[in-house]
Every structure is written in structure tokens, then in C-alpha cells.
Amino acid sequence: MKKTFREWSQEAEADPVYWTERAILRVTEEIFVAMEKRGMQRSELARRLGTSPAYVTKILRGKANFTLESLARIALALGGEFEFHFLPHDVRTPRFSSAVSELSEPTLRTPAPKQRIQKPRSKIQPRR
């Protein structure tokens, strides 16, 4: 017997891989939209991050290994800050909702600081 779309969807949502890929998609959407709003090219983001344009392409394809540090550095390079939160399963946000609302706003062309974002030199000591 063939599965309905609803059954297929429920099965997919039970798998942690689905939620991982969804998070990656949302992160890359946010980065892309922020770049579009600022009229920023990949090469400029790469310069601000002190990395190569190929790495920025890897980020936008969702193939980078995102860490909280890398997300914070990307946000800072884009003139923003990284924010994270958990949502209960029963609270759903429409897919692409942030991207659509961001694109409907006027494009900002405010220049961001022309500095390289440096990695922190000291590591935070783990709690004991």
C-alpha cells in the first residue's frame, strides 16, 4: 500500500535528520537574505570572515560544519548578531517566513565596518 503525503511527512518529522536539515536550511536562508539586503557579494563576506569565497559558497550550500562560534562570526560580519532559541513542537513557523518578510522590506545599503572578524585568542574554560 502506498503512503499518503501526510504519512510520509509524519515519518520524516520523526527522524532527527529531518530537523537537522531543516535547521541548516533556515541558517543558510538567513545568511543569504542578510547578504541580499546589504548588497553583499560572497567575496566581501569572505574578506570580512578572513576566509575564501569558496568557503562562503560552502556555507550557503549548507555544507559547512556550523558551530556557535562560526555562526556568531558570520552574523557579526553581516552587521548583525546570532540568536538561537528552541521552539515547542506544536509551534510551527511557516517555511521561508523570515526570508519572505525580509525580502519584502527595502534593501539596506548601510556600510558595515571594513574590518576582519578575528577568532578569539583565548578559549573559555569549561564549567566544572
| Residues 77-121 pLDDT 10s | 999 999 888 888 776 665 544 444 444 444 444 445 555 655 555
pLDDT at 26: 93
Confidence of residue 73 (pLDDT cuts 50, 70, 90): very high
Provide CB contacts within 8 A for 69, sequence distance 6+.
Answer: 119, 120
Domains recognised in the chain with CATH numbers = 11-85+94-128 (1.10.260.40)
Residue 14 amino acid letter = A
Which of the two residues, 7 and 125, has the higher pLDDT score? 7
Interatomic CA distance for residues 28 and 44, integer angstroms? 17
Contact (CB, 8 A) for 39 and 110: no
Q: Please check the confidence at residue 74 and state whether its pLDDT lies above 80.
A: yes
pLDDT at 114: 56
Residue 74 amino acid letter = I
| Residues 15-61 pLDDT 10s | 999 999 999 999 999 999 999 999 999 999 999 999 999 999 999 99
Contact (CB, 8 A) for 119 and 69: yes
| Residues 3-12 pLDDT 10s | 899 988 888 8
pLDDT at 126: 54
Interatomic CA distance for residues 26 and 98, integer angstroms? 9
Which of the two residues, 104 and 126, has the higher pLDDT score? 126
pLDDT at 81: 92
Interatomic CA distance for residues 42 and 60, integer angstroms? 9
| Residue 69: alpha-carbon gap to chain centroid | 12
Q: How far, in Å, are 7, 31, 77, 87, 124 from residue 60 at the CA level?
A: 31, 7, 15, 24, 28
